[in-house]
Chains A and B, each alone.
Chain A
Amino acid sequence: MSASRLPYQSWRRLGANALPWLLPLLILGAWEYAARSGLLSTRVLPEPWAVVKAAWHLVQTGEMWANLKVSAGRAFAGLAIGGGLGLLLGLLTGLFVPAQVALDTTLQMLRNIPPLAMIPLVILWFGIDEGAKLFLVALGVFFPLYLNTFHGIRTVDRNLIEMARSYGLSGWRLYRDVILPGALPSILVGLRFSLGLMWVLLIVAETISSSSGIGYMTMNAREFLQTDVVLVGILLYALLGKIADVAAKGLERVCLRWHPSYQ
C-alpha cells in the first residue's frame, strides 16, 4: 500500500515544483508564436530566440563583457564611496553623542531629497561624465547605510552593554564584541536597501548619458531599432540586481549565523 503511495507523493512534489514555471513558459511560448506569425512587430518586441542570438553575438564580440565591466565598476565604486561614507558617519553619530548632535539633524533633512531630484544639479556640477554617475549612485546608497547603521548602534541592547562592562569590557573591545555585532543585522538591512537603490540609480545615470556601459549599449541599440539588444540590456540589469541581492543574502547568512532566523 505504501509502495503505491510513494510515487503519487513524489509526483505531487514534482508538480508543485514545476507549477510556478508553467506560466512563464506559456508566456514565452505565446510570445515566440506571436513574433513569428507577425502578430507582434519586431519594433515592439523581438522574438525570444532573437534575444538569445543577440546576447550570444554580444558575448562573442566581447562587447557584453566590456560594457558589463564598466557598469559593474561604476555601481560598486559608487557603493564603496557612498556606502562607506554612510557606514562611517553612521558609526560616528551612533557612537559619539557630540557627532550626533552636530550631524544628525542635517543628514535627516538631506535624506528627504530624492536622489533623482538632484539630476539637473548633478549635470550642472559634473557635466555628463563619470563623476556625475558616481555621485548619483553614491548619494543614493549613502542614506540607507547611514540610517541603518545609526539606528542599529542606538538600539543595541543596553542590558548587554551593562553586562559586558561589568565583565571588564571597555573601549575597543566593547565595540568589537558587543556594539558592532549588535548593530550588524541593522547594518546589513541597510546594505540590502543600498544595493537595490544602487542599480536603479546606475540605470538612470547611464540612460541619461554615457559612452560605455550597459546603458550606453541599450541606448545605442535603441537608435538603430535593435530591440533585441535593448532587451539584452534590460535582462543584464536584472541579472546584476539579482546577483547583488544573492550576495547580500549570503553575507547575511555568514555574518548572522548566530541569529535565530538563520538556524
Chain B
Amino acid sequence: MSAAVRTQLLRDSAPAGREQPVVGASVPTPDRNGLAVSIRGLEKHYGERQVLRGLSLDIARGSFVAIVGRSGCGKSTLLRIVAGLEQADGGRLEIGAASACPACEDRPEVRLMFQDARLLPWKSVIDNVRLGLPRSALPAARDALRDVGLEDREKDWPAALSGGQRQRVALARALVHRPQLLLLDEPLGALDALTRIEMHALIERLWREHGFTALLVTHDVQEAVALADRVVVIEEGAIGLDQALGLARPRARGSQEFAALENRVLTRVLQQHGVDPGAPATAAEQVDALRLEGVRWVI
C-alpha cells in the first residue's frame, strides 16, 4: 500500500472543528440509503504504539457489520477515525463512494453512538435529541423518540432515566439526523442481558426501517451473530477473520447454525486471548458449552 496519507475523500480533514451538515439546510429525504465504506491500509499510532496496521475493510451499503476483538485492539480507534473524530496516520477511507445516490450532493451523514450515552444532563430528553438542530426539528425529534419508545419521557431529565433508556435517547439523537452510516461503539456494554436483547430487537428494526449502514463494535460474540450480516475480528491492528453470516432474520438464538457460527467466531477470538495454545479447541469448546447454556437460559 502506498504510504500516501489520504483520508476521507468526501469530508473535510479537520477532525475537531469538523462541522456537521446543518440539517435545517438539507432536510433529509426519508429514503436516502446507507453508505458504502471502503477502508484501505489504514494506519494509526499513538506515540510509539501502533494501533492499526494497514487495516482494510469494505462494507456494502445498507449492510450490518459487527466488529469484535480483544480489548485494546483498536476497535474504538477505527470507529472514531471513520466518524471523523480522529485522524488516521495513513491509508485511505472512503465513505459513500459507491453510493448510488447522485442526487444527494450533501455530505454523508455519519453518526457515532458512544458506549456511554453522553447525554447532556442539563437538557431535557427532547432537547438532547434535537441537539444542534433548529427549532423546526422538534417534530422530527419527537418522531425519533417515538421510534425508540420513549415519547412519554421527553420532558424528563436524563438523570431520571435508566441506563437502557439513556442509550435509547442517544439512539434517537443519532436517528433524527437520518444517518446513512451509523457507528455503534459498544452501545450496550453497560446493560443487563434482558435489556440488551430488547435493544438488539430495537436496533435491528430501526436498521431495517431506516436502511442505514451499521457498523457495530461489541465484546459480545452472541450479540454480533444475532445482529450482523458479517462479523469481522480485528487482530493485531488488521482484519483477522471475516465471517459472513447467512442466517435468516429474525434469528433464533438457539438454532444449530447460530451456535455453530457463534462458536467459530468465539474460537477465533479466544485464540487471540492466548487461551492454552496447546489445546485451543478444547478450551474453546468448554467456554462454548458455557455460552450455550447461557443462550438457552436467555431464550
- Spell out A's residues near B (CB within 8 Å): 159-160, 162-170, 173, 177-178, 181-182, 184, 257-260, 263
Q: How far is the CA of A162 from the CA of B114 in the complex (A)?
A: 11
Inter-chain contact B159/A166, CB cutoff 8 Å = no
Tell whether A167 pairs with B85 under 8 Å between CB atoms, given A159-B114, A159-B116, A263-B157.
Answer: no
Q: Tell me the minimal C-beta distance from B135 to chain A in angstroms.
A: 13
Q: How far is the CA of A149 from the CA of B245 in the complex (A)?
A: 54
Q: Which residues of B contact A178 (CB under 8 A)?
A: 120
Inter-chain contact A159/B131, CB cutoff 8 Å = no
**With contacts defined as CB atoms under 8 Å apart, how many contacts are there between chain A and chain B in the complex?**
57
| Residue of B with least CB distance to A159 | B118
Q: How far is the CA of A25 from the CA of B259 in the complex (A)?
A: 76
Q: Is B231 an interface residue (CB 8 A)?
A: no
**Central interface residue in B116, B122, B157, by most chain A CB within 10 Å:** B122
Out of A160, A166, A177, which one reaches B85, CB within 8 Å? A166
Inter-chain contact A168/B19, CB cutoff 8 Å = yes
Q: Is B139 an interface residue (CB 8 A)?
A: no
Q: Tell me the minimal C-beta distance from B180 to chain A in angstroms.
A: 15
Interface string of B91-132 (1 = CB under 8 A from A): 000000000000000000000101010101111000000011
Q: Is B47 an interface residue (CB 8 A)?
A: no
Q: Is B17 an interface residue (CB 8 A)?
A: yes
Tell whether A169 pairs with B118 under 8 Å between CB atoms, given A258-B123, A263-B157.
Answer: no
Q: How far is the CA of A259 from the CA of B159 in the complex (A)?
A: 7
**Central interface residue in B19, B112, B121, by most chain A CB within 10 Å:** B121
Q: How far is the CA of A257 from the CA of B158 in the complex (A)?
A: 12
Inter-chain contact B132/A168, CB cutoff 8 Å = yes
Q: Tell me the minimal C-beta distance from A97 to chain B in angstroms.
A: 15
Q: Which residues of B contact A162 (CB under 8 A)?
A: 85
Q: Is B9 an interface residue (CB 8 A)?
A: no
Out of A163, A184, A259, which one reaches B118, CB within 8 Å? A163
Tell whether A166 pairs with B121 under 8 Å between CB atoms, given A258-B157, A263-B159.
Answer: no
Q: How far is the CA of A160 from the CA of B19 in the complex (A)?
A: 16
| Residue of A with least CB distance to B115 | A159
Count the B residues whose beta carbon is within 8 Å of the partner chain — how many? 25
Inter-chain contact B157/A257, CB cutoff 8 Å = yes
Q: Which residues of B contact A163 (CB under 8 A)?
A: 114, 118
Q: How far is the CA of A91 from the CA of B17 in the complex (A)?
A: 21
Q: Which residues of A contact B120 (CB under 8 A)?
A: 160, 164, 177-178, 181
Q: Which residues of B contact A184 (CB under 8 A)?
A: 122
Interface string of B3-23 (1 = CB under 8 A from A): 000000000000011111110
Q: Is B83 an interface residue (CB 8 A)?
A: yes
Q: How far is the CA of A160 from the CA of B121 in the complex (A)?
A: 10
| Residue of A with least CB distance to B170 | A163
Inter-chain contact B118/A260, CB cutoff 8 Å = no
| Residue of A with least CB distance to B16 | A165
Inter-chain contact B131/A167, CB cutoff 8 Å = yes
Inter-chain contact A164/B132, CB cutoff 8 Å = yes
Out of A166, A168, A177, which one reaches B123, CB within 8 Å? A177
Q: Tell me the minimal C-beta distance from B130 to chain A in angstroms.
A: 10
Inter-chain contact A166/B112, CB cutoff 8 Å = yes
Inter-chain contact A170/B17, CB cutoff 8 Å = yes
Tell whether A263 pairs with B20 under 8 Å between CB atoms, given A163-B118, A177-B131, A181-B120.
Answer: no
Q: Which residues of B contact A258 (CB under 8 A)?
A: 121-123, 157-159
- Supplied contacts A170-B19, A173-B132, A177-B123, 18 more A-B pairs, CB within 8 Å: A159-B116, A163-B114, A163-B118, A164-B131, A166-B18, A167-B20, A168-B19, A168-B20, A168-B21, A168-B132, A177-B131, A178-B120, A181-B120, A181-B122, A258-B122, A258-B157, A259-B159, A263-B159
Q: How far is the CA of A181 from the CA of B131 in the complex (A)?
A: 14
Q: Which residues of B contact A169 (CB under 8 A)?
A: 131-132
Q: How far is the CA of A167 from the CA of B112 in the complex (A)?
A: 10
Contacting residues of chain B (19-34) with chain A, CB-CB under 8 angstroms? 19-22
Inter-chain contact A168/B22, CB cutoff 8 Å = yes
Contacting residues of chain B (67-85) with chain A, CB-CB under 8 angstroms? 83-85
Q: Is B160 an interface residue (CB 8 A)?
A: yes
Q: Which residues of A contact B132 (CB under 8 A)?
A: 164, 167-169, 173
Q: Which residues of A contact B21 (CB under 8 A)?
A: 168
Out of B112, B116, B118, B160, which one reaches A263, CB within 8 Å? B160
7 contacts between A and B (CB under 8 A): A159-B114, A160-B118, A168-B20, A170-B17, A178-B120, A259-B122, A260-B121
Q: Which residues of B contact A181 (CB under 8 A)?
A: 120, 122
Q: How far is the CA of A164 from the CA of B20 in the complex (A)?
A: 11
Q: How far is the CA of A169 from the CA of B130 in the complex (A)?
A: 12
Q: How far is the CA of A190 from the CA of B73 in the complex (A)?
A: 43
Q: How far is the CA of A257 from the CA of B121 in the complex (A)?
A: 10
9 shortest A-B CB distances, which residue pairs? A168-B20, A167-B132, A168-B132, A181-B122, A163-B118, A260-B159, A258-B122, A258-B157, A167-B131
Q: How far is the CA of A91 from the CA of B226 in the complex (A)?
A: 49
Q: How far is the CA of A164 from the CA of B116 in the complex (A)?
A: 14
